[in-house]
Amino acid sequence: MPLAPPANRNKTPDLYIGKLAALSGASRKAIRHYESLGLLPPARRKGSYRVYSERDVFLVHMIKHAQTFGFSLAELRELVAATAHKPRFPLKIATDLIVRKRAALRQSVVEIRALDRQLAQLIRDMKKMFG
């Protein structure tokens, strides 16, 4: 994945949805879904065809990559919007998003450990009562 989005959406060669899918690793259906959610800027049109740019490839690839780290589309909305509309990658927004995700994961670990302790206690209690 490129480290920064291409600067201008309109100065790159035209890409149709199949090429965008191939370059980004997302399905055509996923790309249309991202558009319907407003994650991707509306595609330009050439007749009845959607036309995309290298910047769109970056955005879709970024979404797919972030999802592999457990980010939901809702969590990515602000980052994708900022990336789509700014010439530089919004590092602060991305960093804040990751910090929030890490905090949520740490809280989940605390909750899972507490549940594990409760289950271990349940086993001990059952052995006392029935063993």
Mapped onto helix, strand or coil, the DSSP state of residue 51 is strand
pLDDT tens digits for range 116-125: 999 999 999 9
Q: How many CB atoms sit inside 10 A of residue 118's CB?
A: 9
Torsion angle of C-alpha atoms 72, 73, 75, 77, degrees rounded to 10? 170
DSSP 20: H
pLDDT for 99 beyond 90: yes
> How much is the pTM?
0.81
Q: Which CATH number fits domain 17-130: 1.50.10.10, 3.40.50.300, 1.10.1660.10, 2.60.120.1440?
A: 1.10.1660.10
User: What is the structure's pLDDT at 55?
Assistant: 92
- Give the domain ranges of the chain: 17-130
Dihedral pair phi/psi, residue 51, rounded to 5°: -125, 130
User: What is the structure's pLDDT at 7?
Assistant: 55
